[in-house]
Amino acid sequence: MTDTIPTIAALRERLSIMDRVRPPKGRTALSLGLSCLDAALAGGGLVRGGMHEFLPAPADAGALGFVASILSGLPPGPILWCRHKDKGDPLGHADMPYGPGLAALGLDASRLILVRPDSLDDALWVLEEALRCSALAAVVGDGVLPGAVALRRLQLAAEDGDALGLLILPPLARPPPSVALTRWRIASLRDGPPQEEGGRPRWQVSLLRARGGGGGSGSGPWEVTWDDTAFRLRLAQPLANGPVAAAE
C-alpha cells in the first residue's frame, strides 16, 4: 500500500490509459464461495454490470471486512477503493483500508488504487468514471450514500463498463430505497470459542434486496466465518447446545 492519494486529474489520466483496450462485454458473476448465498441470487453470485450495496451496523467495520473477503476471490486486476467521510470525521486517514488486515482476508493490498475525495460530489464522480473503466477488477465506494438519481447514474455506468460496483453504505437504521442489484446487511459477530472458529472473522449476513432473486435459500440471516486456511467463506459451525433449526 501507499500513502499517496491520487488527485482527480491524475486519476482521470490513469483510468483513461487503463481503458484503451476494452475486453468483450459479458454479464459474469462473482461467486461468494457459499452455495447458500449464491443460490439466493439470480446470477448465482454478484453480477457484473451493476451495483451491490452493503449496509453495516453502527460502529462496526464488519461490512468492510466482508467486502474485502469477497474481493479476494476476484481474478487479477486493480481495484479502485474510494473512501468518503464527512469533514467532521475524527479518524482522518487512519480508517483507510488496513494492509495487514486485508492480507489476512486474502486480498493483496497492492491491487488497490486508493482515493479519498473531499466531497460527496467528487466521490460520485470518481466512482462513475471508474465504473466505466473495464480494466478495473472492481470499484468500491466506501462510506458513500448516493441519492436516487446519483445511484441510477452509477448503475448505468456499471452497465456500460461491465463493472462490479460495491458500495459500503454509512450505517443507517432505515436506508432509502435502492435500484442496486443487491443490498446486504452485515454485522460482526463475537468470535466463537477457541475449539470452534479460533478467533476468525465472523459475520451475520442478511440479503435485504436481490433483483430477480435466485429463490434457492431465502434471504438469511446466515452466520459465516472466514476460513484462513482455505482463504474462503464458510458457514459458521452452530453451537452444540443451539436450536435444532440452527443446526439443520
What pLDDT, on a 0 to 100 scale, did the predictor assign at position 19? Answer: 47
Q: What percent of the chain has pLDDT over 70?
A: 75
| pLDDT computed for residue 14 by the predictor | 63
By the 8 A CB rule, do 9 and 107 touch? no
Mean pLDDT of 128-143: 95
DSSP secondary structure string for all residues of the chain:
--SPPPPHHHHHHHHHHHTSSPPPP---EE--S-HHHHTTSTTSSEESSEEEEEEEPTT--HHHHHHHHHHTTSPSS-EEEEE---TT-TTGGGGSPPHHHHHHTT--GGGEEEE--SSHHHHHHHHHHHHT-TT-SEEEEES----HHHHHHHHHHHHHHT-EEEEEPPP-SSPPP--SSEEEEEEE-PPPPTTTTTT--EEEEEEEEESS---SSTT--EEEEEETTTTEEEEPPPPTTS-HHHH-
CB burial of 27-37 (b: ≥16 within 10 Å; e: otherwise) equals: eebbbbbbeeb
Lowest pLDDT segment from 19-23, 71-75, 203-207, 222-226: 19-23
pLDDT above 90 covers what percent of the chain?
50
CA-to-CA distance for 1 and 110, rounded, in angstroms? 5
Choice between 244 and 133, residue whose per-residue pLDDT is larger:
133
Model confidence at 157: pLDDT above 60: yes
Q: Are 118 and 3 in contact (CB under 8 A)?
A: no
pLDDT of the residue at 17: 53
pLDDT of 207:
94
Which of the given ranges, 87-101, 169-183, 214-228, has the highest pLDDT on average?
169-183
Kindly report, residue by residue over 88-134, the tens digit of the pLDDT: 554 444 467 888 889 999 999 999 999 999 899 999 999 999 999 98
Comparing 221 with 229, the larger pLDDT belongs to 221
pLDDT number for residue 238? 58
Q: What is the pLDDT of residue 191?
A: 63
CA angle 80, 85, 91 (to 5 degrees): 105
Q: Record the pTM.
A: 0.81
- In terms of pLDDT, which residue wins out, 191 or 140? 140
What's the pLDDT band for 47 if we cut at 50, 70, 90?
A: very high
pLDDT band at residue 187 using 50, 70 and 90 as cut-offs = very high
Residue 175: which pLDDT band, with cuts at 50, 70 and 90?
confident
The total of other beta-carbon atoms located within 10 Å of residue 103's CB is 15
Q: Which residue has the cell 489476512?
A: 104
Residue 30: per-residue pLDDT = 92
